[in-house]
Structure 1
């Protein structure tokens, strides 16, 4: 297998994983401390890498060009296909809602900083959404060109932020323990969402011609890169600001201003702000493009004649409505996205691999762990969904 293709696939997986979810990690971890969040992150990374390998096992029994919907229909029938479609749409909409809610507030601050013009949060949300919608509606090629530039700047900004924050880490801050047990469970859905990359697996399988050893390497290394970056990010955010201050300043804008004021470095606040903006923007571009193409394809299959503008309205109006009515809903929307991600990244792979193993007598690659690993993984999936439902019902503390 071409090593360049494997390297490229590894970076695609890493790039898909690292996004705006990274900004939510310190907010979700504020009340539980660095050590506890580290244990949760490593556990969830291992879980997601395992279920991604299950997807590779399933793909061996289908054509290399098979999509998630094709696989779901092949192994689980029409009901499985509808479940996959609904979960995919729910995930895309929830993520878009989170990015608009977080990006709208950031956009207002950025306009005020650079132009001195104060605009309302509602207008900032509308402008931010229209900006991204315009790029997506024009076409994928435009998204690709814009995203390459933004991603490059984002990586540079992240390096600068980490460099300036690292010397200010205080060891005692990293030793903070959870202030209440409920927060540990409440943090899991948001941290889990930060490790989602399973939507890109079918494209990677096709790109690497279904070559299992190469796919395994790309998935394990590609998913480990974000884990390493997340650990450093948690070190410099949870280690620079004490736990009490983080808890008092729950919210994306508050986190950025707190980091900037804690570290006495000129222009660091703007650098952190630009990095956060780009993390939101690149994630929003990728997710909204995926939702746009998914809805366009669905409408076409149903024989509905629609322009790109019409598909754009269906894509962007619902999540923008959420952000306008619930502008502080960044963390909340990411929590709801976790429910759909559990279906797509845990329940569907497990159900499909059970069917594949029962139907096939051939000696294909099989992920280690057997039925015990499948049962434990299913249990964690139930825990994540249950945690988000308990937060919604008010039995667990809400984050952010």
Structure 2
């Protein structure tokens, strides 16, 4: 009788797997943005980069948990717009909404640009000529179709692509690790031995590289008001991303000398430039091919996760329902503006990632901390509360403020850059 009862349970009533949610988070984080990290952090170099990545992971994870804490006091499917308007007022909600739309649209544009660059490089590797602009736009249409289907379709596709990406990662970086040179990793040949002056410029890029916050309301919509399962998704997904980042920094900085990153940055720092630099250093066709396929999986995973967050946010703000027609309207609103920008400006990956980091400080770090504080005052956070109390909120707020200030100083040319 028990077996019959269990097997007759409708699929919709079963609790979704934590692995699927973790794959959405990990897939959203580890994407095209990881290719900007070695270029931006080359001035700080390896050990400084490890320290900054650990600190950024800690702060962004807890800001995501603060979103969860506040979100649990509202209906399933409520987005930042609903929660922020109720807890922080209409003025802050409008400002926060503008920053969310700016960041997610900017990242979507960056991934269209990155996907075009990667697919163009892949086609060249296979002896086929295909323009980067056309590649990016066609790939975007494929992603839009998957997003239009359902969140479950995104979860399944992300799990599949993320699994392939992990396999390609270990095959690729297993080869790269074997070529790591201690003199390169320890920077024993560089003409300049100053590292910490380049610290501040890295922070906005690290924040963007741990951007998953738009998916927290989507996870609650997927799992229901189950804070422990959603917390497990956030912790495990971000830890996987952190581990992959650390291995990537070891491989890239252990194979490319610090001075060589100046030329990569001056050539725009796009993905194909970095892959070509690694391939030329190693002189290995197999590793170059694996790096190419890994970059395809990385872009696809992150593209799916970011656009899912933007899709759900716009559906809530614009009031589109979950019917096929309503989802089509949301898909058009999600993908049409960045596709237009990518058609006009096909190369803008590194600049887009940097500007996304500036706006992300508001909605991914500062607003979550303010939401947690306001939520505790009003509701007492009966379902879930992030540990650390007021000091944790202050730490997250400080991190956001420093990131915003750092990018503004960078834009005005007041920070040293390794170029």
Band of TM-score, shorter chain: 0.7 to 0.9
**1:83 maps to 2:95:** yes
Q: Structure 1 residues 112 and 286 mapped into 2: Cα distance closer, same or farther (>3 Å)?
A: same
Q: Could you give the per-residue CA deviations for residues 297-343 of structure 1, whole angstroms, max 9, x where no partner exists?
A: 544459xxx88777655433432444455444212111111233222
Query: Which whole-Å CA distance do the structure 2 matches of 1:48 and 1:59 have between them?
Result: 17
Deviation of 1:357 after TM superposition, in Å, equals: 2.4
Deviation of 1:293 after TM superposition, in Å, equals: 5.0
Deviation of 1:13 after TM superposition, in Å, equals: 2.8
Q: Which runs of 5+ in 1 are unaligned?
A: none
Query: Which whole-Å CA distance do the structure 1 matches of 2:402 and 2:30 have between them?
Result: 24
Q: Structure 1 residues 300 and 256 mapped into 2: Cα distance closer, same or farther (>3 Å)?
A: same
How large is the Cα RMSD of the aligned pairs?
Answer: 3.3
> Pairwise mapping of residues 292-371 of structure 1 onto structure 2 (< 5 A)?
292-295=311-314, 298-300=317-319, 314-360=333-379, 365-371=384-390
Q: Structure 1 residues 32 and 273 mapped into 2: Cα distance closer, same or farther (>3 Å)?
A: same
Please name the residue that 1:151 is paired with.
162
Q: Is the 8 A contact 1:31 1:247 kept in 2?
A: no
Alignment partner of 1:288 out of 295, 300, 307: 307
**1:12 maps to 2:27:** no
Deviation of 1:106 after TM superposition, in Å, equals: 2.3
Q: Is the 8 A contact 1:28 1:191 kept in 2?
A: no
Q: Is the 8 A contact 2:18 2:233 kept in 1?
A: yes
Deviates more, 1:283-292 or 1:35-44: 283-292
Deviation of 1:132 after TM superposition, in Å, equals: 4.3
Query: Which whole-Å CA distance do the structure 1 matches of 2:384 and 2:154 have between them?
Result: 37
Deviates more, 1:374-383 or 1:37-46: 374-383
Query: Which whole-Å CA distance do the structure 2 matches of 1:167 and 1:149 have between them?
Result: 28
Q: Structure 1 residues 25 and 325 mapped into 2: Cα distance closer, same or farther (>3 Å)?
A: same
Q: Structure 1 residues 111 and 186 mapped into 2: Cα distance closer, same or farther (>3 Å)?
A: same
Alignment partner of 2:263 out of 224, 228, 248: 248
Query: Which whole-Å CA distance do the structure 1 matches of 2:101 and 2:299 have between them?
Result: 19
Alignment partner of 1:61 out of 52, 70, 73: 73
Query: Which whole-Å CA distance do the structure 1 matches of 2:416 and 2:212 have between them?
Result: 27
TM-score (norm 1): 0.85
Q: Is the 8 A contact 1:331 1:399 kept in 2?
A: no
SS at the partner of 2:126? Answer: helix
Q: Which runs of 5+ in 2 are unaligned?
A: 1-13
TM-score (norm 2): 0.81
